[in-house]
Amino acid sequence: MQRLTCMALILMALAAAWGAAPAPHGLVQGYLAKGGRPIFPIGIYEMPKTAAELDAMAKAGINLVRCQGQDDLDRAQSAGMMGWVPLPLDSPDQARLRQLVAAVKDHPAMAAWEGPDELVWGFTANSALYRGGIHKQPGEWWKQTPEAVAYADAQAAKVVPQVIANIGLLRSLDGGRHPLWMNEAAGSDLKFVREYVERVDITGCDTYPINEGKRHPSAAADYTDRFLSVGENRPVWMVLQGFAWADLHIPGSTEKAAYPSFPETRLMVYEALVHGARGILYWGTAYIPSAAGSAFRDSIYAMTRELAPLDPFLTAPEEKAVRVALTETTGRPEAGDRGVHWLARRAGLEWLIVLANEDDHPHMGVEVQGLEALNGRRLDLLYGTESATIRAGEFITRLMPQEVKVFSTSHKWESPAPAGRDFTDEESK
């Protein structure tokens, strides 16, 4: 009996140790790990110059920031945030790579490594290839001219093996403690991305679909789907629009400032989430004019403040029994409909239901079904006044064109700070 008891204690200790250890490459259930639990990454590429600005980001719910080294990680840690560090994995200078990794790999705020940004885009469709005289005409890659294909093949033959070799070195130096993320352009070539993607932990892309001539927020849904496929179901981080194209001052451009409205920002986020994104980040906020763009920055922070309290739901498993049926007033879907997509998650006794209408027309009969566990309970629309009591496992709502509705079992999941939610950017339309 004593021997069995000792053995049982040993097994229990081992089980506890295994359970507390982070998953391979620092991920828990496909999410970043902090303190042994999964967290949903809400990230930003901008590292502010002042502590006050960094603190404002942290108070807005941003938990992940791009860091260039130890000093930046120290600043992130002081603000209660984590950091990711970019690495030149496409460089043959492995001594430099060793130095960079050794300097930060043990930092307590270190969360993830980032590979070269838009790696494949850079030697295929990048417009700079034309401006630099490499492509003879704009859009040559999309025409698949022999010259463009030959250039891409030659570059890939040099760059991709270098990246793969450096990933192997990174794994040996870091011991697999931190995940490796590679962000691509939304339209990066599938063939070349697939040559390296099995070596990374997190994939994804950036999409900036709001400009002076076109506003297409549903692109966030399309490209989330695309990179789940490109990455063969690896976790996808979506990098969303934190700027107006005019802010970038691209030579020759006459683009006028056109910022995403708050409803567009919100739609992009929730469309990415309902399509399976496991991280939301923003690029371009460093280019926002301090005065003219301050209202837009507030709208980005309003969105991150909305997301941050939802972390228990965003890292929870999907409630797969929940489904949505559309009973249309016309009796049939309209041609080209994208429909309503949804997310259903549970955290203990609390529930979250997200509905996103991706169409340019209303859906007047949206039946949310499979909610038998909530019979008799009420769902409230967050940031709204609508409510519904669940009967026979369902409730019915309506969705206006490109509208998002987020229902929960409690209003406690709302952010108490409303600033920025009324941003419309009417002057840019």
Q: Which residues contact 327 (CB under 8 A, 6 or more apart)?
A: 365, 367
pLDDT classification of 34: cutoffs 50, 70, 90 = confident
Q: Which residues contact 364 (CB under 8 A, 6 or more apart)?
A: 328, 329, 398
What's the token pair of residue 261? 């409205």
Instruction: Decide: 79 and 62 in contact? Cβ < 8 Å.
Output: no
Angle at 34 between CA 230 and CA 36, to 5 degrees: 100
Mean pLDDT across 393-415: 97
> What is the secondary structure of 136-147 as a DSSP string?
SSTTHHHHT-HH
Residue 17: is its pLDDT beyond 60?
Answer: no
Residue 202: is its pLDDT beyond 80?
Answer: yes
Mean pLDDT across 204-209: 97
What are the φ and ψ backbone dihedral angles of 387, each rounded to 5 degrees?
-145, 160
Instruction: Decide: 285 and 304 in contact? Cβ < 8 Å.
Output: no
pLDDT of residue 293: 78
CA atoms within 13 A on the CB side of 350: 16
Q: What is the DSSP letter of 40?
A: -
Kind and range of the H or E run holding 168: helix 146-174
CA atoms within 13 A on the CB side of 5: 2
Angle at 306 between CA 301 and CA 309, to 5 degrees: 120
Nearest of 282, 283, 262 to residue 419 by alpha carbon? 262
Q: What is the DSSP letter of 108?
A: T
pLDDT > 70 fraction of the chain, expressed in percent and rounded: 92
Distances (CA, A) of 5 to 9, 15, 91: 6, 15, 55
Say how far apart CA 225 and CA 12 lie, in whole Å. 41
**Reported CATH class of domain 323-411:** mainly beta
Segment among 181-190, 211-220, 349-358 with least mean pLDDT: 211-220
| pLDDT tens digits along 123-182 | 999 999 998 999 999 999 999 999 999 999 999 999 999 999 999 999 999 998 999 999
Instruction: Decide: 97 and 108 in contact? Cβ < 8 Å.
Output: no
pLDDT of residue 331: 65
Handedness of CA 405, 410, 415, 417 (dihedral sign): positive
The domain segmentation of the chain, as residue ranges, is 27-314, 323-411
CATH of domain 27-314: 3.20.20.80
Say how far apart CA 353 and CA 409 lie, in whole Å. 9
What's the token pair of residue 383? 């940031």
Nearest of 325, 321, 385 to residue 351 by alpha carbon? 321
pLDDT of residue 87: 98
Only one residue has tokens 């739901």, namely 313
What are the φ and ψ backbone dihedral angles of 373, each rounded to 5 degrees?
-65, -15
DSSP E strands, 169-249: 180-181, 184-185, 203-206, 236-241
Only one residue has tokens 């990179």, namely 227
| pLDDT tens digits along 285-334 | 999 987 767 899 999 999 999 999 999 999 999 999 999 999 887 766 67
pLDDT of residue 23: 44
| pLDDT tens digits along 36-69 | 899 999 999 999 999 999 999 999 999 999 999 9
pLDDT of residue 189: 97
pLDDT > 90 fraction of the chain, expressed in percent and rounded: 83
Instruction: Decide: 253 and 307 in contact? Cβ < 8 Å.
Output: no
What's the token pair of residue 37? 């639990």
pLDDT of residue 332: 65
Only one residue has tokens 């034309």, namely 130
Say how far apart CA 44 and CA 49 lie, in whole Å. 14
Angle at 424 between CA 42 and CA 383, to 5 degrees: 60
